[in-house]
Amino acid sequence: MACISLEFWSYEFLVLMSSFLPNPKIETSMVSISLNIISVFFRIPFGFASAVSTRGSNELGAGKPQAARLAVHVAIFLAASEGLLVNLSAVAVIGVWGYLYTRDEEVVTYLSSVMPILAVSNFMDGMQAVLL
C-alpha cells in the first residue's frame, strides 16, 4: 500500500514540476491528462494482480502448487487480453481522448501524438503488475 501511495505522490510531483517547463499550460495539461489515463487503465490489471495474489496464496496454502500455477497463467492471459483490447481501442479512438478532458486544440493534438506511447506503456505496466 505504501508503494502505491508513493507512486500517486510521484504523479502529483510530476504535475507540479511540469509547471516549470517552457509552456506550462500545455505541459501541465498533458501531464495531468496522461497520468489520469494511465491511472484509469491500470485499475483492471491491478485488480487481476490482487486476485491472483490471493488465489495463488490460498492454493499454495492448501498444498496445490499446480492450481496456483494455473491461476497465475490465467491472470497473465487475462491481463494480456485486457491490455490488448483496451489499448488498441484507445488508439483506435485516438482523436477523442483529448476532448474528454479539454477543448483546447493544442492539448488534444499533443495528446493524440502521445497516446500510442501511453498505450504501449500501459500494456507493459499491466503485465508487470500481474507478474509481480
66-119 pLDDT per residue, tens: 999 999 999 999 999 999 999 999 889 888 888 998 898 998 998 899 899 989
Residue type, 130: V
The answer to whether residues 110 and 26 touch, using CB atoms and an 8 Å cutoff, is yes
pLDDT for 26 beyond 90: no
How far is Cα 19 from Cα 4, in angstroms, rounded to an integer? 24
Instruction: Give this prediction's pTM.
Output: 0.77
Longest dimension (CA), the chain: 58
Residue 75 is assigned to a structural domain of this protein: yes
Residue 69 is assigned to a structural domain of this protein: yes
How far is Cα 111 from Cα 117, in angstroms, rounded to an integer? 10
Query: How many independent structural domains does the chain possess?
Result: 1
Residue 21 is assigned to a structural domain of this protein: no
Q: What is the span of the domain harbouring residue 113?
A: 29-131
